Amino acid sequence: MPGNSNGAAETLKALNAPIEPAPEALADPLLRSRTDDQLRPTLSRLNFTVQMGELVAVVGAVGSGKSSLALALLGEVPRVDGTFSTYGRVAYASQSAWILSGTVRNNILFGMPFDRVRYDRIVRACALDRDFANFPDGDATAIGERGVTLSGGQRARISLARALYFDADVYLLDDPLSAVDARVSRILFDQAIRGMEQIFLQLLQAPHAL
C-alpha cells in the first residue's frame, strides 16, 4: 500500500539521519565538552608500515590508545576515515587473558591440529614447561571456568602460547608481559616474541620492565 511504503521510507530516513546534539548540550559548556569528546576519534594521524620479520613496540601511558590500535587493526573499531591493510593471518593476545573451560592443552591448541614439535617449542618459549611439571596431570590438567585455578602469570602465558600456536603472519600482543615477573619477562621476550619470525606489534604500558 502506498501509505505504508511512504511510512517505511520516512522511518528508514529517520534511522539513517545523523544524530545531532540536543540544544541544551550546545548551550551548556560542560555538556558541549562531553559531546565533543564523543565525536572526537580515539586514534588519528596514524601513518606507519611494518615489514615482515619486524618487531614493533607501541609504548604509552594507560588510556593512550594502544589497545584501541590493536582493535582497529582487527577491524573491531569503527573507522571514520583512512585505510589500513594487514598481510595474511592475524593472531591476537588481549591484555586480559581469555581462558576457556577444558584442559591446558585444549586452551593452547584452540581447535588447531596437534603438532608435537611446534607445541613443545612454544611451551618452552612461553616458560610453561615447569608449570606443566607441577600440574597434577601436566598439560592434560583441567582448568576451571575463566582459569580460576591458574595464577595471573599462567593465564597470560597460556594466552600467549595460544596466539603463537595459531601460526599467523601477524601477531598483535596487548601488554603480554604485565602479569609476569622480570625473569619470566626476559624468557618470553627472547624466546617467544623475538624467537618467532613473523610480524609482531607489541603494545606495552610505559614505564615497563623492559
- In this prediction, residue 161 carries a pLDDT of 93
- In this prediction, residue 141 carries a pLDDT of 92
- In this prediction, residue 68 carries a pLDDT of 85
- Residue 54: HSE in the Cβ half-sphere, 13 Å Cα cutoff: 9
- In this prediction, residue 131 carries a pLDDT of 92
- In this prediction, residue 108 carries a pLDDT of 95
Give the start-to-end residue ranges of the domains of the chain: 2-39, 55-205
Q: How many CB atoms lie within 10 A of CB 131?
A: 20
pLDDT tens track for 9-52: 454 444 444 444 445 444 445 444 444 555 677 777 888 888 87
- In this prediction, residue 75 carries a pLDDT of 81
Low-confidence stretches of the chain (pLDDT < 70) are 1-39, 196-210
- In this prediction, residue 67 carries a pLDDT of 85
- In this prediction, residue 15 carries a pLDDT of 42
- In this prediction, residue 2 carries a pLDDT of 45
| C-alpha 183, offset from chain centre | 24
Interacting residues of 210 by C-beta distance below 8 A, sequence separation 6+: 177, 185, 189, 204
Write down the H helix ranges in the chain.
Answer: 2-16, 23-27, 29-39, 66-73, 104-109, 116-125, 129-134, 152-165, 182-187
- In this prediction, residue 17 carries a pLDDT of 45
- Predicted TM-score (pTM) of the model is 0.70
**In this structure, are residues 162 and 92 in contact, taking their beta carbons and an 8 Å threshold?**
no
Architecture of domain 55-205: 3-Layer(aba) Sandwich (3.40)
| Helix, strand or coil, per DSSP, at residue 77 | coil
| C-alpha 194, offset from chain centre | 18
**In this structure, are residues 124 and 179 in contact, taking their beta carbons and an 8 Å threshold?**
no
Question: Inter-axis angle of helices 116-125 and 152-165, to 10 degrees?
Answer: 140
> Could you give the CA distance from residue 206 to residue 210 in angstroms, rounded to a whole number?
10
